[in-house]
Structure 1
Amino acid sequence: MDNKPLNLATVGYVFGLEPKSIYSWYRNILSGFAEEVSSGEFHKYDMKHSDSSTLPVPILKPEHTGTSMVLDENMTNDQMYTILSNRETKKIALLAQTLQLEHLCALTRHFGDSAEKGQLLNSDMSPVYLKFCRTVFPNAMLTADKFHVISQVLESPQAVRLRLKAQELAKLPTKKRKARQQSQETEHAEEGKRIETRIEMLSRCRYLLLKRAKDWWPWQAVRAKQLFALFPKLHHAYKLVEQLRDWYGRTNIGKTLMAWRKPYFNGLRMLRLEALLKRKHGL
């Protein structure tokens, strides 16, 4: 239960036990939580501020640090927490209700020399977390969390789509533009009787761009062909994302990095150059 998340209702069903009973046994006996509360270890490192407020730090255990660590954020009861855990043992070294760099650095001073054991540190691409990693774990190699990488990559075609849509809207006369922004016109009755406008195509392709091309339905493939014929830049952005997702696939990791890297970064250079030229000429 410490290593892998389990549904207590499922466990209770299998063993013929009440989920509440299993939770009570785990919380009060197996987890060691009750002993830590009674001994004062739980919340021992809470930070006191000058204004009498307290920053909750439920867990701070330097002995749980190791060579491979994971840094992440989590929301619990509408509050954001930073979690630093050991990838190998699955034990938490730090759990603190803060995302601020100064707080995290102050708390990890309790780690002493144990932070030097870190050789590999996995984190998202938050500037705060990246700076924290370099400050506290100077000997560790940083790796970006795959979930956050893919999430940001998937947003790239959406950014291109919205930019193209804004350009199309800008071409409309002012009155028509305001009318379209206030109401998306009556589409239901005439839906199958007229050809989609360029703006409508860009509005309706959001979920299409999130799917892999191999997972498209036949009608989606037709729509994509029409869309990309009208908007080559969107097609280019989508192809770059597809290439990255292929490279991130389990079967390709470590095999096609260099083959993918060169055309991808060449594509990025072209996009940056285009952005600089537009900014320079006020476009």
Structure 2
Amino acid sequence: MAGFYGLNGKKLQRQFKDYLSDFKQWKEKSHAKDWLLFPENIGKQLSIDEVALSKGELYTIVTNKKAKGKAGSIVAIIAGTKAEDVSGELLKIPNSKRNKVKEITLDMANTMKLIAKTCFPKATQVTDRFHVQKLALDALQDIRIKHRWEAIDQENNDVKDAKNNNNTYTPITFSNGDTLKQLLARSRYLLYKTQANWTTKQKIRAQILFEQFPDIRKAYVICQKLRTIFNNRLITKAVAYTKLAKWFKEVEDSGFKAFNIVANSISLNYQSILNYFDNRSTNAAAESFNAKVKAFRAQFRGVRNVEFFLFRLIQIFA
């Protein structure tokens, strides 16, 4: 705007902050860095998540799902993620309002579960399905990365041997032009997708990858079975319980250490994960809101003044 009107940008920014925006008269300014509460925005369905505002400093944000990331979304912004600190601020909201909450979506962090239990005791906790799936996908990627490091190490040794014997090293290439190292590096994104969403080149690469590494194929199938359980909208909570039990058994039989860790994490959050199948609620609203906060932060090239950033944020979303 300053450039369009031929003004000094920094001076215009100072004028906006000090005189045009009502920032100096903001009543919550004194405690904005620590907590901001908007009880009037509480709804029956909430989401709770963490976001980094400045220099990696984390804030816990509670949002109303009904607002869909628009005005009235923010219920609370509280510095830090420590359960007792966040709960201490949220408990300032009257019981009558907090007891209206029927459902709260969250990730698998124990601190978030404790905050939800303490502050919204009548709300059903729903663990976000995408966090569950991400754990399984991370385990799959760990297997791929392990093979990639082995391929890099093997190639380095082959290059050294070729030099010692005064030979030129020529890596083996597959039918699609990939070397083993390239095959493992370039397969990263196709493993996140379902087979139906693979491009023609990804189908060819996946076929070669699974032929060379049967364990990656086995791990990929396990991930897709978990995705199918969540994607099937005809599955009831009771059926989901049975299918997840069968998935656990398959994970145990697979022998993959990383997947056993995933299975143990899921078992500790079993009930809240199954609660997803009641209303198919996810934490996507919170993740979407976090993305908006990050975009807002990037638009202004970072956060120099946290209070002013929060002031602008609540003008739009609270």
Indicate the TM-score class for this superposition, using the shorter chain for normalisation.
0.5 to 0.7
**Structure 1 counterpart of 2:127, from 135, 144, 148:** 144
Q: Counterpart in 1 of 2:190?
A: 208
Asked whether the equivalents of residues 173 and 180 of structure 2 are also in contact (C-alpha less than 8 Å), the reply is no
The amino acid of 1:153's aligned partner reads A
* 1:151-170 residue CA offsets vs partner (Å, 9 max, x unmatched): 33332210121233455667
**Structure 2 counterpart of 1:120, from 103, 106, 120:** 103
Q: Counterpart in 1 of 2:157?
A: 176
* 1:63-105 residue CA offsets vs partner (Å, 9 max, x unmatched): 4333321112233344432211222354422112322223202
| Paired residue secondary structure (1:220) | helix
The amino acid of 2:157's aligned partner reads K
| Paired residue secondary structure (1:227) | helix
Structure holding more helix per residue: 2
Q: Which runs of 5+ in 2 are unaligned?
A: 1-15, 162-167, 259-318
Q: Counterpart in 2 of 1:21?
A: none
> Higher RCO, 1 or 2 (CA under 8 Å, sep at least 6)?
2
Distance of aligned partners of 1:81 and 1:154 in 2 relative to their CA distance in 1, 3 Å threshold: same
Paired residue total: 228
* Pairing 1:23-102 to 2, within 5 Å after superposition: 34=22, 38=25, 40=27, 42-43=28-29, 45=31, 55-57=33-35, 59-78=36-55, 79-89=57-67, 90-102=72-84
Q: Counterpart in 2 of 1:129?
A: 112
- C-alpha distance in 1, partners of 2:245/2:118? 31
Asked whether the equivalents of residues 172 and 179 of structure 2 are also in contact (C-alpha less than 8 Å), the reply is no
The amino acid of 1:237's aligned partner reads A
Q: Which runs of 5+ in 1 are unaligned?
A: 1-23, 47-54, 181-185, 277-283
Q: Give 1:224 shift.
A: 1.4
Asked whether the equivalents of residues 123 and 129 of structure 1 are also in contact (C-alpha less than 8 Å), the reply is yes
Q: Counterpart in 2 of 1:228?
A: 210
Q: TM-score, normalised by structure 1?
A: 0.63
Q: Counterpart in 1 of 2:164?
A: none
Asked whether the equivalents of residues 49 and 106 of structure 2 are also in contact (C-alpha less than 8 Å), the reply is yes
